[in-house]
């Protein structure tokens, strides 16, 4: 599971292109990299012949994937799947969580005192750890608000932080365009849905969640003129009811943020994905993509036995 990419500078929360290439070169030595869309189109016999199948997935659809991630995949002739929040791509405006991230990262204050509704919140920003904690507080507050109120939330936060929020996202948070997406489709880059607005589906009622799940599928299909097979749960938040909605809407599979490996008996609506390691060393790649998922799988199987 990947998100944002950068060139070779030390940009926060983004993976260096050089590290991405090292990871891909190593992973393809021990696994057969195949896109999920390709894998699920194979017969059972064809799947059985694939040695250690692994899929590369990228969430959110930022332009920096096209700039720094896609060229490496193309150079190595490797496929991947990118999950798009449809409205983000269509309108090119800020995703709600990125607005708040931009504000807290660009304030000159070491602490922001923020009032929202009837609560008073202190957001320390003296260190990287402080920033992460403050982002978690802001994220938890904002995701509970209806989509229409989130912009007002960010405006209030910007005023408290003394930051002028640009109307459109800067280069770091800019979205892909449909033109770039169609171009990448010619080189085994596949696209799936990440809802319309990157909504946390477990925070919505059933009808609203259905609109996000079904609406994004239909919208992306209308732009790309072909079926969209994959779905990605924003923040990995889902439950049995939401997974069932995804299946009913016609998706072939859905990915979570749960760690571990996937077995043949697992539901295609709840596929696990380990996060990418931050470095390109063989040790970190093995630990993050192989040893840790195996360990997590063993733990989950042990829990299943205990409870059954």
- Average pLDDT of the residues of the chain: 90
| Confidence check: pLDDT of 307 > 60 | no
Do the beta carbons of residue 195 and residue 212 sit within 8 Å? Answer: yes
Q: What integer is the mean pLDDT of 195-217? A: 93
**How far, CA to CA in Å, does 138 sit from each of 154, 158, 173, 214?**
9, 12, 18, 28
Do the beta carbons of residue 55 and residue 34 sit within 8 Å? Answer: yes
- Range in 110-119, 129-138, 292-301 the model is least confident about: 292-301
| Confidence check: pLDDT of 122 > 60 | yes
Do the beta carbons of residue 182 and residue 72 sit within 8 Å? Answer: no
Tens of pLDDT, residue by residue over 81-102, are: 999 999 999 999 999 999 999 9
Return the pLDDT at 303. 63
Task: Enter the tokens of residue 256.
Answer: 């979570």
Contacts of 105 (CB under 8 A, 6+ apart): 12, 131
| Confidence check: pLDDT of 300 > 70 | no
pLDDT band at residue 128, thresholds of 50, 70 and 90?
Answer: confident
Do the beta carbons of residue 271 and residue 256 sit within 8 Å? Answer: yes
Best-predicted range by mean pLDDT (137-151, 170-184, 252-266, 271-285): 170-184
| Confidence check: pLDDT of 280 > 70 | no
- Distance between CA atoms of 60 and 232, rounded to whole angstroms? 9
């Amino acid at each position: 599971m990947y998100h944002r990419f950068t060139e070779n500078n030390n940009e926060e929360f983004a993976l260096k292109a050089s590290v991405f290439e090292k990871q891909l070169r190593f992973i393809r030595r021990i696994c057969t990299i195949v896109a999920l869309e390709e894998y699920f189109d194979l017969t059972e016999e064809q799947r059985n012949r694939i040695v250690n199948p692994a899929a590369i997935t990228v969430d959110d659809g930022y332009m920096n994937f096209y700039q720094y991630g896609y060229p490496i995949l193309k150079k190595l002739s490797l496929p991947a799947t990118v999950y798009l929040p449809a409205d983000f791509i269509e309108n090119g405006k800020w995703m709600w969580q990125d607005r708040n991230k931009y504000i807290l990262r660009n304030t000159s204050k070491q602490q922001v005192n923020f009032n929202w509704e009837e609560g008073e919140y202190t957001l320390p920003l003296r260190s990287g750890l402080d920033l992460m904690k403050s982002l978690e507080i802001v994220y938890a507050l904002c995701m509970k608000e209806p989509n229409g109120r989130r912009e007002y939330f960010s405006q209030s936060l910007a005023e408290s932080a003394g930051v002028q929020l640009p109307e459109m996202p800067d280069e770091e948070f800019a979205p892909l365009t449909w033109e770039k997406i169609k171009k990448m489709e010619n080189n085994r880059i596949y696209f799936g849905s990440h809802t319309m607005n990157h909504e946390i589906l477990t925070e919505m009622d059933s009808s609203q969640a259905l609109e996000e799940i079904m609406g994004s599928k239909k919208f992306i299909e209308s732009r790309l003129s072909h079926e969209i097979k994959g779905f990605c749960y924003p923040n990995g938040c889902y439950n049995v009811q939401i997974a069932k909605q995804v299946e009913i809407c016609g998706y072939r599979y859905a990915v979570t943020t749960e760690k571990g490996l996937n077995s043949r008996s697992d539901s295609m609506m709840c596929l696990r994905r380990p996060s990418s390691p931050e470095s390109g060393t063989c040790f970190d790649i093995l630990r993050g993509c192989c040893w840790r998922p195996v360990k997590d799988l063993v733990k989950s199987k042990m829990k299943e036995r205990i409870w059954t």
